[in-house]
Structure 1
Amino acid sequence: MLVQSFASIVNSSWAIKQKLIEGLPEVDVINKHFSELFDLGKFVRTVQIGFAQTSELVSITNSMHRINQHYHKEMSSNELARDLKDAEELEEFAKRQVDLRHPYLYNLALIRTWSILETFVDEIAMSRLRGSTLDAFPQLHALKMSISEFINVDGAERLEVILSRFKETRASTLKKGNGRFQIVLDAVAVNGSVDEWVSKMFLEMSEIRNSLVHRGGVVDKRLLESCPWLREVRGGEVGVKEGQFNKYWYTAIWYVVKIKLALCDANREEPGGGSRSAWKELLEFYKEKIIRLGETGELITHQPPFLAGSSD
């Protein structure tokens, strides 16, 4: 069942959230964006339940009408006809989405996932800038900027101007997918590199997101040049499926864990909530499960052994 499958993914990872947010100066940023990923998971579950119930809305509307009659709260024939007409339209849409396995929902959820990741990287960079002097970051310290860019902004806003200006100067060299994140994180001395399989996943996420946002979801030459493995859907429209979104959602969580460890390295600290080897084990665990999910469509429904049963 779709609702249960995604629910199991969200619930089985809750202990990880509690451990992720311990022991870092950037704890507020990590906590905020990890919570946003889980809120997104709850949103997806809620909508799935809503679609399932709306698929029977005509029957529910008739039942509510009979209940109202029983309690002497009768509706006029015009009111009932209006409600049934609305119910039929909504039920038709819900059934179509359920039959297609919720592409509208998962398309929107993918767009939101990528937005969370973009904001996460920018706020990690800002946190690093606020915690150090600018000369600690040579790429940013070497930026050439006019005095007019600083006259009307205070200290905190100046850091935002610097980061924005840095991204503008790198606009021609910004890579696709994770490459965009890596350039920003490298500038604040955080190792943002990822394995090839994550780079491929992020590339697919970002290119499908761009197609949905800017090109109406059409699978065109631009998308296929970036992601040639999507050629079987040439000429069609992007429709993110449940297993595909689960894979993206879990990769976003994997990335938060990866950046947590990278921040520990940058700050020369040990990660909270477990040993470094345990956190690396967690990365490998999700690497294996995400790749398997991508190959078979199976869902991840259990925690890694060292987190099982944790109530922290």
Structure 2
Amino acid sequence: MMELDFTQWMAGVQAQVEDALSDFLPAAHLVPTKLHEAMRYTVLGGGKRVRPLLVYASGALFDADPQALARAACALEMIHAYSLVHDDMPCMDDDELRRGKPTVHVAYDEATALLVGDALQAQAFEVLASSDTLPPARLVGMLRLLAQAAGSSGMCGGQAIDLDSVGLSLTREQLERMHQLKTGALLRASVLLGALCGKDLNNAELEALGAYSKAVGLAFQVVDDILDATADSATLGKTAGKDAADNKPTYVSILGLDESKALAEQLRRDAHHALAPFGEQALRLRELADLIVQRKA
């Protein structure tokens, strides 16, 4: 039996991750102070921490080492934060609001925003590579996994496809492929890195966690598209309706609102089904799938 309910568990993980991020980021008083202050501005005090939550929930399957979990969770959150900083810049999505506050290029300037993203990406690998409780060979594999998830065959590749797709009519398959890279790759890495903080994974475990990750990764984006079309900026903490205004293909624009909601629910059920081999130990992962689909922001 779990001692904490889901809300308590989630709040505890988020607080642990916030403290760890503060420790792993350079102090604001260190030179160059403007860069370090801006790095802390973008990472700390905001965000749902979905990727760290997935790390900890997956780690619970295999009694993962707490120190390794903290480093993996923070590395993923730094990669995610860097991607948001760059995504908001004028040369990409050109947005002025993120997590309810001005984006980094607005609060500081474009050059600083660019360097914040670069520095956070490097910091992520330093944090993960400094794990000293994991077997070296497994740690190297984890670093490779993070690099692949963040690079041109993962998140950056999906962002490139996204930018090239503005104004185009994509098929559902093309849209799914884009989001498997842009959003899904980092979510998959979160699940796998959390598990790898506990043990080397066999093929059956990799297949089950991969199926779960694919379902929640797509569900996350489907719900993002639904919320972009239905929620307001105050609720989202970012500019609502921007995808439609920018003429971007979304699940809502391709499938319609009702079918998009039905798809999100089907993906939630798929995620639950994928976790069947892990039994009760996968409770937190199932609850996170529910959270991703049923969230309002």
**Into which bin does the TM-score normalised by the smaller protein fall?**
under 0.3
TM-score (norm 2): 0.28
Greater C-alpha radius of gyration? 1
TM-score (norm 1): 0.27
